[in-house]
Structure 1
Amino acid sequence: MESPLTEESVEVSKPFRLGHLFQSWRGDLTGGLTAAIVALPLALAFAVASGVEPKAGLYTAIVAGIVAAVFGGSPVQITGPTGAMAVVLIGIVSQYGIEKVWLAGVMAGLIQIALGIAKLGQLVKFIPYPVTAGFTNGIAIIIFCGQLNNFLGLQLPRQEYFLDGLWQTFNHLHLVNFASVLVALIVIATKLIWPYVYPTIPGSLVGLVLATIVSIVFHLSVPTIGTIPQSLPLPHSIPHWYDLNLLRELLRPALALAALGSIESLLSAVVADGMTVSEKHNSNRELIGQGIANMVVPFFGGIPATGAIARTAVNVRSGGKTRLSGVIHGIALGFIVLAFAPLASHIPLAALAGILMVTSVRMIEWEAIGLLLRATYSDLAVMLLTWLVTIFFDLVLAVEIGLIAAGALFIKRMSDLNLAKIPETEAFPPGIPLELSQSIAVYRVDGPVFFGAAERFVTFLRDEPEVKYLILRMRFVPNIDTTGVVALEYIYYDLKRHNCRLMLTGLQPQVREILERSGLLAKIGVENCFATTTEAICSLHPSLPECSSLLAKTESVELSEI
């Protein structure tokens, strides 16, 4: 799921110019109409998955789709309800109700606009791949299991927590409606097989129509989505907006919606960039556009939306090149609502469940799982941790814990010094007296010396109690922090107590400056700092016949010590 975002310097998304838009109107028309056909069943399905009426999903796709296309930073982005947002919304709906969701959506939009104005759109590129893979997989599991009731035809009250809902479903398996199971299987089979038959028309739409026809013709007793008004969404007011206590209570849900909406929208925009050769997205403008859409859509009865990767990809593959394609997508959905809304009352909930189940299975990052299994177990652990927290707690907590775990692993990797003792045959010049060679230990230090490395640094270097001269090769230490300085100072005093002299070679300018400013270099002594290991050893025994010639070749010898 994660992809690196384009740098700000190359974000060249253009303003909304009519002349530019209509240069590729044929491709935009095809892309927008195709995206609308794909979006129709998904808008209904994700609304149901969010715990709201199906019409809210359609209204979201229409209004947010148009607004985000006009004001957003990606020329081909298609915006609407998504599975990831549904996972967050269902918890908010069950706890607060739809009216509070509208208010949280407006707050989320304001937060997204603030993030865009503050130019924080680039931050999403710092989310580690195991974290995005983990919460994507968690979302997929939640969506799949959340549709089991509709798949089985069980009309049970929604549960706020994943395990409670799953347990409730298993306790009512004796009430399974096999007609609903049949309808769902028809949709699943159609969605899987249809792309091999006629890929131009989305399999989800064909399956939805086919399942509805079967349900009507055979008079199947299955729960349906209910009526959808044969009218376009009209603006209305949002209650409770002046209640400060409620606003404080909704702040965390709003932050969750804003964070998730921003992450998914920007990742979708990156995917779109990789599919086009035209202008790239502007991440900060995209946040502002998505924020405006989420501020506007609640006033039309919709729910918070994000950029949708699959629908955006369909738009691009079908010829969409400019913002006009997103506008056409929204307008086309509006016409579909006006023309076919009465027929929607016959759509079985099980049909939408079938669509969502296939979609959720395809959401799972199978390649990521394979990659992480072949790569490091620590990254796999981060993905599994994020995955499990997403399922058993909530998505926001999962991202927070995933980022903390990934950050801790990063610190550990940075602090894993490659601290190796150099054999005498490599470190010492020929002819060195045996007694002197036995009193010298040479260690090569690779990597930054900072707080995560300090303890390991101390442990390694205190294992040489018999040594009288300890030489540290520091050429490949790029930086050192305060705790690293303290650790090095502790080593210096510990060695001094054991009558052991600490010598440093190859200090980088930045490291040397920090040691000087801290006063540690003065304690160690400038006379104990050398350019090379050879110089350090020759300072202990200048009469070695090889020293004069070796010192003349300092640079070449030091390179051979890498």
Structure 2
Amino acid sequence: MLNFFRQQSGSIKNDVLSGVTVALALVPEAIAFAFVAGVSPLIGLYSAFFLGLITAVVGGRPGMISGATGAMAVVVVSLVATYGVEYLFPTVILCGLFQIAIGIGRLGKLIRMVPHSVMLGFVNGLAIVIGLAQLGSFKTLSDDGNLVFLSGTRLGLMLALVALTMAIIAWLPKLTKAIPASLAAILTITMISIAVNRGVEPGQPNMLATVGDMLRTNTKAKSIADARADLAVLTNENENDDDALALNASLVSAGAASSIESTPEIKAASDRVAAAIASTDGEESGISGGLPRLFFLDFDMVPMNFETLRIILPFAVVLCGVGLIESLMTLTLIDEITETRGQGNRECIGQGVANMTCGLFGGMGGCAMIGQSLINVNSGGRGRLSGVTASICLLLFVLFLAPWIEQIPMAALVGVMFMVVIGTFEWASLKMFRRMPTSDMLVMVLVAGYTVFMHDLATAVILGVIVSALVFAWQHATHIGADSKLNEFGSKIYQLHGPLFFASVTSFKEMFDVANDPDDVVIDFYYTRVYDQSGLEAINGLAEKYQAAGKRLHLTHLSAECRELLDNAGDLVEINVSEDPQYHIASDRLA
């Protein structure tokens, strides 16, 4: 498959055509990820526009597509649910600032520190989280205002069309690649949905829920939840009032009105719950086709104080880490496919600028999209023009085709997302399960499990890196050794092998026989390297032991930084500078 991608040549024509193809495929995924995040589909579409356009111009990887992604959506969903969408936008702006700082600090190369086992756990956990998030699309509002799972004919139709969507995406590419399979599936299922819903009597819910239906349902459900929350607060404040407790049981749990008299405030709150259940406000909700506006023109500004920072800072850090990890992973893949090299640090800056702008205009944030990037390079998109074209086309779709977008059935979006889950999950890791080292297997399961249960992708990756590092340190703690011999002058020479760092310090100290060694001892570091302060202190401590025994210690082939830090050993440490090698690190230009 990679060879097929490489056969595509870059040109303006290919960039424009591939950009149009990507824009068509972006529409359903941007809407689906917006629902995952618990925000309006229009927020997801505008996010995809800003992210795709700015990263295409400013980012470090031509041909790579960015937009609203599931990785970011599963992070912000708890923020939106707990504090409201108003806190989302400053969080995304702060995330962008962090990403710009990381790019300026040339820290993009740190992606090299993520082990393969952590990567496997990350993508597997992400796939499971996205899959579980689709269960919400199988729910509807009951008569008492509660979200319940579909049943009967509506559930059967939903499942059938989800399966049909997945079948089209799986099999269409074997027949033709003239149109993206996900787009063909969306169009096909939408036409079926329109035909089925035309037979529904006016005033009755559609047999197949559409994007517009889901948006109106979510709007009404939020209104009911807010009214019940106000009632719960009032009843808790009047917990000694028997009538209040009765109202709390009948209204908060069941969501129905009650005839029990209580305080005027509680009675008013119970009326608001009943009104929210009976209201049709959700019917007026929809996707507007206007141009994006600065978020504070449409939403209340959150107070800029320490409390707000305390709330948004953890989410911003997580978004920053998740976004850069997924973006740099995608950059590496596109590098391999196109046999070119992207600029990781510039991509960090591009993602930061895009997320800052996205937040200012009321977006949910995002990062590079593996699936859409592969569609782009497969269609011949190699330059920045492909990403610019995709973003502009997406905005044009929103401005002039919004009513059609609302007709997209949720069954089609769920089917697309399930195929994303299938494509994201690393099924090969299951086959490798028994062949992998036990430590790598445990790290993979740990990262995936933490991702699924805690919904914190960045922390899961960091935790996996830490555990992998500890496992590595433990495994290499005993890899240090020494060959000893006497030379013609009667001096004892210790030829070290292996790394000297905090975990191997104990083994290092046990190699030397200070009491029985001759008066002149040489330690040769030609085949070893001192990695940290613990190793330097171990050398210093050894020198002090030989001093106390009235013996002289020589250290040869130490790196320059080690010699500088060992100056406090004074005349007792004699270093053969002429034989010391010079050590270098990888140039930052590689990043």
Normalised TM-score (structure 1): 0.73
Q: Which residue does the alignment assign to 1:196?
A: 174
Where in structure 2 are there 5+ consecutive unaligned residues?
A: 1-9, 198-205, 214-285, 580-591
Distance in 2 (alpha carbons) for counterparts of 1:89 and 1:80? 15
- Cα 1:299–1:466 change in 2 (3 A) is closer
1:426-473 deviation digits (Å, cap 9, x = unpaired) = x799xxxxxxxxxxx9986421222211223345668x9999999987
- Cα 1:494–1:81 change in 2 (3 A) is same
Q: Which residue does the alignment assign to 1:409?
A: 471
SS of 1:477's equivalent in the other structure is strand
Q: 2:209 aligns with which of 215, 223, 227?
A: 223
Instruction: Tell me the matched-pair count.
Output: 476
SS of 1:346's equivalent in the other structure is coil
Q: Which residue does the alignment assign to 1:84?
A: 71
Q: Which residue does the alignment assign to 1:234?
A: 292
- Cα 1:140–1:445 change in 2 (3 A) is same
What aligned pairs does 1:63-212 form with structure 2 within 5 A after superposition?
63-150=50-137, 153-155=138-140, 177-212=155-190
**Cα distance, 1:375 vs. partner?**
4.4
**Cα distance, 1:174 vs. partner?**
7.0
**Cα distance, 1:399 vs. partner?**
2.2
Q: Which residue does the alignment assign to 2:311?
A: 249
Equivalent residues of 2:505, 2:534 under 8 A apart: yes
Distance in 1 (alpha carbons) for counterparts of 2:334 and 2:411? 32
Q: Which residue does the alignment assign to 1:508?
A: 557
**Cα distance, 1:204 vs. partner?**
1.5
Distance in 2 (alpha carbons) for counterparts of 1:378 and 1:117? 35
**Cα distance, 1:378 vs. partner?**
2.1
Pair 1:62 & 2:49 matched: yes
Distance in 2 (alpha carbons) for counterparts of 1:486 and 1:57? 54
Distance in 2 (alpha carbons) for counterparts of 1:51 and 1:231? 20
Where in structure 1 are there 5+ consecutive unaligned residues?
A: 1-22, 158-167, 430-440, 532-562
- Cα 1:61–1:480 change in 2 (3 A) is closer
Equivalent residues of 1:474, 1:505 under 8 A apart: no
SS of 2:529's equivalent in the other structure is coil
SS of 2:481's equivalent in the other structure is strand
1:145-188 deviation digits (Å, cap 9, x = unpaired) = 111342xx22389xxxxxxxxxx99x969788222111211111
**Cα distance, 1:141 vs. partner?**
0.7
What amino acid maps onto 1:211 in structure 2? I
Distance in 1 (alpha carbons) for counterparts of 2:565 and 2:303? 57
Normalised TM-score (structure 2): 0.70
- Cα 1:486–1:110 change in 2 (3 A) is closer
Q: Which residue does the alignment assign to 2:569?
A: 519
Q: Which residue does the alignment assign to 2:222?
A: none
Distance in 2 (alpha carbons) for counterparts of 1:351 and 1:181? 10
Pair 1:342 & 2:403 matched: yes
Q: Which residue does the alignment assign to 1:536?
A: none
Larger mean Cα displacement after TM superposition, 466-475 or 225-234: 466-475
What aligned pairs does 1:187-336 form with structure 2 within 5 A after superposition?
187-219=165-197, 221-226=207-212, 228-229=286-287, 231-238=289-296, 239-244=300-305, 245-276=307-338, 280-336=341-397
- Cα 1:502–1:387 change in 2 (3 A) is farther
What aligned pairs does 1:429-468 form with structure 2 within 5 A after superposition?
445-458=496-509
Distance in 2 (alpha carbons) for counterparts of 1:516 and 1:283? 37
Equivalent residues of 1:51, 1:90 under 8 A apart: yes
SS of 2:208's equivalent in the other structure is coil
Distance in 1 (alpha carbons) for counterparts of 2:517 and 2:387? 73
Equivalent residues of 2:295, 2:362 under 8 A apart: no
Equivalent residues of 1:472, 1:503 under 8 A apart: no
- Cα 1:480–1:65 change in 2 (3 A) is closer
Distance in 2 (alpha carbons) for counterparts of 1:342 and 1:196? 32
- Cα 1:507–1:145 change in 2 (3 A) is same
- Cα 1:490–1:325 change in 2 (3 A) is closer
SS of 1:447's equivalent in the other structure is strand
Equivalent residues of 1:474, 1:504 under 8 A apart: no
SS of 1:155's equivalent in the other structure is strand
Distance in 1 (alpha carbons) for counterparts of 2:390 and 2:565? 62
**Cα distance, 1:193 vs. partner?**
1.5
Equivalent residues of 2:15, 2:382 under 8 A apart: yes
Distance in 1 (alpha carbons) for counterparts of 2:324 and 2:72? 11
**Cα distance, 1:478 vs. partner?**
2.8
1:278-313 deviation digits (Å, cap 9, x = unpaired) = 6x4333332222222212223444310212122122
